[in-house]
Amino acid sequence: VDAPAKPNGCAVVLAAGKGYHGGLPLLKTCAERLSSEGFVVVRFEWAYFTAKKEPAPDLSTEIEDLEAAIAYAKGLDGVKKVIVAGKSLGSVAALLRAERKSDDLAGVALLTLPVHAPGKPALVFPEAEKVANLKLPVLILCGDKDDLCAPAAVYGLAASCDAAPTVVIVPGDHGLKEGEDEAKLQENVALAAHALAVWAKRRL
C-alpha cells in the first residue's frame, strides 16, 4: 500500500502483468505518482505468480485475486471510491471484472491492454472487445510500438464503444521500452504515470 500524505478519498488498485510484478517501472512509477496526487494505491501479486504457476485459462482465479484486492482497498480508512487499473494481463482481469460488476468502481484503466494477436492488428481478442460493454469511465493506454496493442487497433476498438474511452498513446513497446535506452524507458513510464494520474483525478 502506498499511502498519500493528503488522502483524496479514492484508492487505485494496480493489477500486475503476467510476469510484470508491482515493483517494475510502470507500476512502481504509477503508484508513486498517484500517491503524490492523494490516491491510496494498492499493489498486489497474483497467487499463481507467487506459487510459480500459470494463470487460469479464463482468468477466473485472477479475477478472484483482484476482487480480494478491491475489497481490501474499500476497507481502508477514508476510502470512498475505488479505481481499478491493470498492466497487460492485469488489464484483462480488470476489464472482465468491470464488465461483470462496475457499480462499485469509479473507473477502470487498461494499461497495455492486449488488443490483438502479436503483430496482427486485424485479429482482435474477444476479451478486448468487451470494452464496448463497459458503462463506466475507461482509460486505454499503450505504447506506439506495442505489438499487442497497435494504435490503429486501439482507436478502432474505441470507436466501437457507445461511451468513448480515453485513449493515450506514449512511446514504447509492450513494456514501454525503446530498445535498451533506460532514459527513454523512464521518460515513457513517466508520461504514462502522468496520464493515468490526470485521468484518475477527473474521476474524483
Encode pLDDT of 2-31 as tens digits: 999 999 999 999 999 998 888 999 999 999
Query: Residue 74 has what pLDDT?
Result: 98
- Average pLDDT over every residue of 164-193: 97
Residue 138 in 3-state DSSP? Answer: strand
Q: What local confidence, expressed as pLDDT, does residue 52 receive?
A: 86
Stronger pLDDT, 171 or 49, i.e. the higher one? 171
Which three-class secondary structure state does DSSP give residue 150? Answer: coil
Q: Write out the three cell numbers for 21.
A: 510484478
Q: What percent of the chain has pLDDT over 70?
A: 100
Over residues 54-77, mean pLDDT: 96
Report CA torsion sign: 141, 23, 60, 121.
positive
- Residue type (1 letter), 48: Y
Q: Which pLDDT score, from 0 to 100, does residue 196 have? A: 98
> Do 124 and 116 touch, CB atoms closer than 8 A?
yes
How sure is the predictor about 50, in pLDDT bands with cuts at 50, 70 and 90? confident
- The tens digit of pLDDT for each residue in 113-135 reads 999 999 999 999 999 999 999 99
Amino acid 19: pLDDT = 83
How far is residue 127's CA from residue 153's CA, in Å, rounded to a whole number?
14
Average pLDDT over residues 96-107: 97
Instruction: Dump strand ranges (E) for 102-183.
Output: 107-111, 116-117, 120-124, 138-143, 166-170
Query: What confidence category does residue 49 fall into, taking pLDDT thresholds of 50, 70 and 90?
Result: confident
154, pLDDT greater than 90: yes
Query: Which cell goes with 91?
Result: 488489464
What pLDDT does 29 receive? Answer: 97
